[in-house]
Every structure is written in structure tokens, then in C-alpha cells.
Amino acid sequence: MSPQVIVNGLLLGGLYAAVGVGFSLVWGVMNVINITHGSFLMLGAYVSYWLFRLYHVDPFLSLPAVMLLMFGLGYLLQRYIVNAVVKTGVFMTLIITYGMNLFFVNLALLLWKGDYRSVTPEYAGTGLQIGGLIIPYIRLVAAVLAVVLTLLLQLFLSRTRVGNAILATALNKNAAQLVGIPIGRIYAITYGIGAALAGAAGALMSAIYVITPFMGEPFIGKAFVVACLGGLGTATGAILGGVVLGLAETIGGAIVGPSYQEAISFIVLVLILIVRPEGIIGRRFFAEVK
């Protein structure tokens, strides 16, 4: 196996971790399979693109602005739309988030058409060469920042009062209410964090992938697989899940051909559901069906 394939898999895995961690958090805390996650990623990429186009802001430096905007959007959506159905069961929230995803995709089509757009900083096309290995700077920085954001989330959850409240709500919502934790506010903050992380993933990808209104759709499935692999609500699990998925896709693509690469992620999903339903680290996923 070529070392270049392994390096590519690790870099891809870092991006997948950023894609999956917010999805995993929302699912683990709220029991919501958030299909709107793909639209948040897409909107984050567009914000990064316009900041680069209008103000020449590097896509990686645009992360704070992107995350702040997406947090606000996610917070408001949860308070005024998702919160109305969050107690009705997983199927209703699935339908609501699917509808919101369609709305944002079509809004993007209305505003920006289906034109392909890209962010091309000056260092695009350059890379670090170590022996026979070539590591593109953009992918390297994006993967490193993705892992850093994921670890910062873990620190936030474990070292702050709000983070502890989020973890307590994920473990036992009723017990959290009994000790005075405002569940509605925690849900809104959690959904906002999930949107911010998805937007950050979109900003990181804006310099790597072509930006279109549909760019987030394939990553909804990737986020689902990463969440199942790593376990719900765990930031470190998202890193492990992302790396496993990235390596599986690149190694599998090198063996059986790139045309089968997309199918590999779902083969990995089926295997993990059979062998270890709770993920590599984390708890078993559940759904309150009503």
C-alpha cells in the first residue's frame, strides 16, 4: 500500500471529523437526526467564499465569522422551528430538518444559481514534499484545524458549566431538569454549536471542493457514518470515526477503484452497526419512536 494513500486518508479523515462532530453532538444530546447539517455546511462555504471574494479574507481566517453566523442561525432555528417538534419523536424531527434542508438548498439556488464557485488562495496548488510524499498545504491546514476545532469542543464540554449541562442533558434529560438545567436553552445552544461546526467544516472545504448549493448533500451521509463509528456526542469519537472512514475510503478506492469509493462508507456503516452498535467510543444510539 502506497504511503501517499495513507496520508490522503488521514487528511480526508480530519475533514470528516469536522463534518461529523456537530451532527453527532446534536443527535446525541437532542435525539435529532439533523438533515439540515448539509445545508449548514453549504452556507458556511458560501460565507467563506463571499468573504474571500469581497474582502480577500483567507478561508481559514474566516472561521470565527462563519461559526458566529451559523451559531446564530442554528440557535434561532431550534428555538422557533425544531423546538416545536423535538418532543414528538425522531421521525417528525427528521421530516422537519429535511424540509429545512430543502428550503436552504433552494434559497441558495435562488440567490446564487447553480454556478460552480471556488476559493483559490495564493498558496493553492502548493504543498509539502517529504521524500515521495506530497502533502497539499490546503488539505494539511484544513485537517489540522478540523482536529483542533473538535478537540476544543471536547474541552468546552468537559471544562465549562454550559458544556457540563449539555453532557448532563445527553445522559439523562429528566434528571437534568430536576437539578435546574434549562433544557430548552441547552437544546438551542447545542443545535447552534452543531450548525457552527458544520459551517466551519464548509469554510475549511471551500478551498478544496467546488462550492454549489448541493455541495452539502453527500456529507450528510458522511456525518451519519462518522457519528455511528465514533459514538454519539463524543468529540474524540468523531476524530476516530472520521479517520477510520477517511482511511477506509482511500484504501478501498485504491484497491477496488475510485468509482466504488462512495459505497465503501456505507459498507463500513453496516459493519460497525453489526459489530459495535455503540461506536468505537460512546453510547449506543437510540430513537424514541412516536
SS (H, E, C) 67-110: HHHHHHHHHHHHHHCHHHCCCCCHHHHHHHHHHHHHHHHHHHHH
> Bigger pLDDT: 273 or 238?
238
* Count of alpha carbons within 13 angstroms of residue 260, beta-carbon side: 11
At 31 the three-state DSSP class reads coil
Grid coordinates belonging to 172:
439523562
Let me know: does 11 contact 246? Beta carbons within 8 Å.
yes
Check: CB of residue 201 under 8 Å from CB of residue 148. Answer: no
Bridge partners, 135 (sequence order): 128
Work out the angle between the directed axes of helices 161-171 and 137-159 (0-180°, nearest 10).
80
- pLDDT at residue 284 above 70? no
pLDDT at 289: 43
- DSSP H/E element including 6: helix 3-30
Q: For the chain, what percent of residues have pLDDT higher than 70? A: 95
Predicted pLDDT of residue 256: 85
Confidence of residue 270 (pLDDT cuts 50, 70, 90): confident
C-alpha cell belonging to residue 234: 463524543
- Give the helix/strand (H/E) hosting 246: helix 235-256
Residue 287: per-residue pLDDT: 45
Q: What is the pLDDT of residues 129-175, one digit of tens each?
A: 888 888 999 999 999 999 999 999 999 999 999 999 999 999 899 99
**Per-residue model confidence (pLDDT) at position 150:** 93
Structural domains of the chain ordered from first start: 3-275 (1.10.3470)
Q: How far is C-alpha 228 from the chain's CA centre?
A: 13
pLDDT at 278 over 80: no
DSSP bridge pairs for 147: none
**Letter string b/e over residues 174-196, b meaning 16 or more CB atoms within 10 A of that residue's CB:** eebeeeebebeebbbbbbbbbbb
Q: pLDDT band at 283, cuts 50/70/90?
A: low
Lookup: cell for 275: 459489530
Q: Between 285 and 227, name the one with better pLDDT.
A: 227
- Which one has a higher pLDDT value, 175 or 282? 175
Residue 192 pLDDT greater than 50, yes or no: yes
50-80 pLDDT per residue, tens: 999 999 999 999 999 999 999 999 999 999 9
Rounded CA-CA distance 159/88 in Å is 32
Evaluate if residue 185 carries a pLDDT over 50. yes
Which residues, 6+ apart, have CB-to-CB distance to 278 below 8 Å? 231, 284, 285
